[in-house]
């Protein structure tokens, strides 16, 4: 059974999830995001990722260096599509942590989610 989720999360710790709302689609807060992942196995997720000003190339490099990430950069806007495919919950959690801590990343918005049962 597919589980498809579409949520917003923000890269900044403890931030108001609305602070970059104008770049995002549909919101769930960080707490709700956690619920959404609970119990999910082998999640595949996709995101729109926006770099910090002038950090597009750096962000592409940073993301490509992380395991389980597929990076599709736009060639005419500072926007990256990121698809992640993790084998289990723990890897997913580690990946989330890495993403959150990338200095080149400004915001990340989920657009699709699935976790196999």
Partner 1 sequence: MKINRRSFIKSAAASSALAAAGSIFPGISFAEWKKQEGASGKINWQKAPCRFCGTGCGVLVGMSGDRAVAVKGDPNCSVNKGLCCVKGFHSVQALYGKDRLKKAQVRKNGKMVEVPISEALDVIAAKIQETIKKHGKDSVSMYGSGQWTIPDGYVASKLFKGCLGTNNVEANARLCMASAVTGFMTSFGIDEPMGCYEDIEAADVMITWGNNMAEMHPVLFSRMLASRKRKQNVTIVDFATRTTRTSQAADKSILFKPNTDLAVANAICYEIIRNDWVNWDFVTKHTTFHKGKTNIGYGTEDHFSFKDKPEDITFEEYKTFLEDYTPEKVQRISGVSAKDIKYMASLYGDPEKKVTSFWCMGMNQHVRGTWIQNLVYNIHLLTGKISTPGNSPFSLTGQPSACGTVREVGTLTNRLPHGVVMNEKDRKMAAEIWDVPLSNIDPKPTYHTVEMFRALDRGDIRFMWIQVTNPMVTMPKLKRYREGCLKDDRFIVVSDVYPTPTTDVADVILPASMWVEQEGLFGNSERRTQHFDAIVPGPGDTMSDTWQIIEVARRLGFEKQFPWGEDEYIGKIWEEYRRFHDSPKHNMAPYTVLKERSGVQWPFVNGKETRWRFNTKHDPACKKGTEFDFYGKKDGKAWIWARPYEPAAESPDQEYDFWLCTGRVIEHWHTGSMTRRVPILHNAMPESYVELNPEDAADLGVTNGEKVKIISRRGDIVMKASINGRGVPPRGSVFVPFFDENYLINEVTLDAFCPISKQPDYKKCAVRLEKA
How many residues contact partner 1, by CB under 8 A?
A: 46
Assign residue 101 a region (left: φ > 0; alpha: ψ between -120 and 50; beta: otherwise).
alpha
Give the span between the Cα atoms of 32 and 54, in whole angstroms: 31
Return the bridge partners of 73, or none.
80
Whether 80 and 51 have beta carbons less than 8 Å apart is answered as yes
Is 45 a binding residue for partner 1 by CB under 8 A? The answer is yes
Q: Does 111 bind partner 1 (CB under 8 A)?
A: yes
Q: Does 32 bind partner 1 (CB under 8 A)?
A: yes
Contact residues toward partner 1 (CB under 8 A) are 1-7, 16, 18, 21-29, 32, 35-36, 38-39, 42, 44-48, 70, 72-77, 79, 81-83, 85, 109, 111-114
């Amino acid at each position: 059974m597919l589980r498809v989720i579409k949520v917003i999360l923000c890269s900044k710790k403890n931030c108001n999830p609305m602070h970059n709302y104008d770049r995002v689609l549909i919101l769930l807060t960080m707490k709700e995001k956690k619920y959404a992942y609970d119990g999910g196995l082998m999640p595949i997720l996709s995101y729109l990722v926006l770099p910090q000003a002038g950090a597009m190339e750096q962000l592409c490099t940073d993301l490509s260096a992380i395991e389980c990430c597929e990076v599709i950069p736009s060639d005419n806007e500072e926007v990256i599509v990121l698809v992640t495919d993790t084998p289990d919950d723990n890897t997913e959690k580690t990946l989330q942590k890495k993403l959150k801590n990338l200095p080149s990343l400004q915001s990340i918005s989920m657009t699709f989610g699935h976790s196999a049962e």
